[in-house]
Amino acid sequence: MASKIEALVLKIGLYRIFKVFKFVRAIYLALVYIINLVFGVNLILGTKEEQEQAKTRFDKSGHVLRIIGRGTKQPAEPVSSPIKSMSS
């Protein structure tokens, strides 16, 4: 599978892949801007109220998308401290 992808990348060219990525990213950023303008919701940070609450209240400071984006198996799973795990 990796050799097929490598062959495809070499055939298309890294510069063209980069240009396609930049185009897709520009479309994404435009959609984010329009959604934020029309609905007042940022896809990453949440609504304006959530953003204001995150500044003042610690328990509201983690938006769901950012927590899921960490890549933990369970979003509510506490992050263990390496110091605690070494001492026990």
Q: What is the SS3 assignment for 23?
A: helix
Domain range for 7 is 1-39
Q: Quick one: 4 and 28 in the same domain?
A: yes
* DSSP for residue 39: H
| Tens of pLDDT, residues 40-84 | 888 777 788 887 887 777 666 666 666 666 666 665 656 555 555
**Inside any domain, residue 83:** no
Q: Quick one: 49 and 26 in the same domain?
A: no
User: Residue 39 CA to chain centroid, in angstroms?
Assistant: 20
**Inside any domain, residue 84:** no
Compute the half-sphere exposure of residue 74: CA atoms within 13 Å on the CB side of its CA. 4
Q: Quick one: 24 and 5 in the same domain?
A: yes
| Tens of pLDDT, residues 58-68 | 666 666 666 66
**Inside any domain, residue 34:** yes
Q: In 10 A of CB 54, how many CB atoms?
A: 16
Structure token pair of residue 81: 């401290």
Q: Quick one: 25 and 48 in the same domain?
A: no
